[in-house]
């Protein structure tokens, strides 16, 4: 049996997954103690079940300990295996030590996740210099791709599109989207000077004038590349572009700035955002269904579940964990 268990803020996505796969949707109670510590209680029966924790990691520092506590609680209560479903996977940026003394956080984060889960499923992680997630994670990983869904949306919603990618490294990805959408394509040349400083060199696109430009990218973080491209397209006689991205991070005011320069912005629901128009919940559900039997052979042994379902008595100086006082409640 499979239980889909959403972390706070992931309930709608988890519901779509559960509906797509015909699985049980679980429930979790969380809140914070006065000193900021997290309280976690799994309200569903996990014993003997494959438990999938659904948690997009767009802002990981806010709830990562809560995620780890939930995974550990599920295992101690008898879950058969615990999988992390992270539609967006964080801590992929710092993949080497650029300056003396820096933490290589991508590797540290991978070790922490690998120590708590049996398997990881994510969508279009920003790999940079890593050839695959297996170079980082010691647990089985599934990397799914949203490009076909972006292509299908473009083909259905945009008349006479011209697909434009953010940089030369995206050429293979962009060409695959264009082929599926039956459209011409081009890529920009991106010169990055820092996290928030990017120059964009726009090629001559005059042969496709009259088409609707569609800027595609795997992630819109600072949004600077997309903003610079959207500013330059009208200089070649094109209308404002449509923007289609997989991961809608849109830090600071980047979304409002980009919206002013574009016809429409759409994204997948890997990160909850007002631009969400393309659901990837069914993509993940299909992968879970297809690999369920194979994954059974890949479960690695961990500490056994705790005996029984006893509730331990707190000491005299302890605050009862079930104290309903609503200090700060996570919704």
The whole-angstrom separation of Cα 60 and Cα 250 is 15
pLDDT in tens, 134-185: 999 999 999 999 999 999 999 999 999 999 998 888 899 999 999 999 999 9
Cα(86)–Cα(91) distance, integer angstroms: 12
Integer Cα distance of 218 and 13 in angstroms? 19
Closest alpha carbon to 277 in 285, 268, 264, 288: 268
Distance CA 71, CA 240 (A): 45
State how far the Cα of 278 lies from the Cα of 268, in Å rounded to an integer: 4
DSSP code of residue 270: T
- The 3-state DSSP class for residue 319 equals coil
Give the pLDDT score at 197. 64
CB atoms within 10 A of CB 161: 26
pTM: 0.85
Q: What is the dihedral of CA 167, 120, 104, 35, to 10 degrees?
A: 120
Q: Which tokens belong to 187?
A: 């890529």
Q: What is the pLDDT of residue 3?
A: 98
Q: Which residues of the chain have pLDDT under 70?
A: 192-198, 292-331
What's residue 195's pLDDT?
55
DSSP run (H or E) holding 16: helix 11-21
At residue 192, the pLDDT reads 65
pLDDT in tens, 253-290: 999 999 999 999 999 999 999 999 999 999 999 999 98
Q: How far apart are CA 277 and CA 248, in angstroms?
A: 11
> What's the rounded Cα separation, in Å, for the pair 91 and 201?
28
Nearest 5°: phi and psi at 57? -110, 40
Residue 329 confidence (pLDDT): 35
Rounded to whole angstroms, the Cα distance separating 234 from 50 reads 52
What's CA 14's distance to the chain center, in Å? Answer: 13
């Amino acid at each position: 049996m499979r239980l889909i268990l959403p972390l706070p803020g992931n309930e709608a996505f988890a519901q779509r997954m559960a509906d797509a796969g015909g699985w049980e949707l679980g429930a979790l109670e969380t809140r914070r103690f006065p000193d900021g510590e997290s309280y976690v209680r799994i309200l569903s029966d996990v014993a003997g079940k494959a438990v999938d924790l659904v948690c997009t990691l767009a802002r990981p520092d806010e709830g990562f300990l809560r995620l780890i506590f939930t995974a550990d609680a599920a295992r101690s209560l008898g879950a058969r295996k615990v999988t992390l479903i992270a539609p967006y996977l964080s801590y992929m940026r710092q993949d080497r030590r650029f300056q003396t003394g820096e933490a290589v956080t991508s590797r540290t984060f991978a070790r922490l996740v690998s120590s708590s889960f049996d398997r990881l499923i994510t969508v279009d992680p920003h790999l940079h210099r890593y050839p695959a997630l297996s170079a980082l994670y010691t647990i089985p990983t599934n990397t799914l791709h949203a490009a076909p869904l972006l292509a299908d949306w473009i083909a259905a919603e945009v008349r006479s599109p011209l697909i434009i990618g953010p940089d030369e490294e995206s050429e293979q990805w962009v060409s695959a989207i264009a082929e599926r959408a039956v459209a011409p394509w081009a890529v920009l040349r991106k010169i990055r000077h820092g996290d928030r400083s990017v120059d964009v060199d726009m090629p001559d696109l005059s042969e496709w004038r009259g088409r609707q430009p569609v800027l595609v990218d795997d992630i819109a973080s600072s949004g600077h590349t997309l903003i610079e491209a959207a500013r330059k397209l009208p200089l070649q006689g094109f209308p404002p572009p449509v923007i289609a991205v997989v991961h809608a991070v849109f830090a600071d005011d980047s979304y409002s700035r980009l919206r002013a320069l574009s016809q429409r912005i759409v994204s997948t629901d890997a990160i909850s955002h007002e631009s969400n128009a393309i659901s990837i919940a069914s993509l993940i559900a299909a992968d879970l269904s297809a690999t369920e039997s194979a994954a059974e052979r890949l479960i690695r042994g961990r500490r056994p579940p705790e005996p029984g379902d006893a509730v331990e008595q707190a000491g005299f100086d302890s605050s009862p964990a079930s104290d309903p006082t609503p200090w700060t409640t996570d919704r």
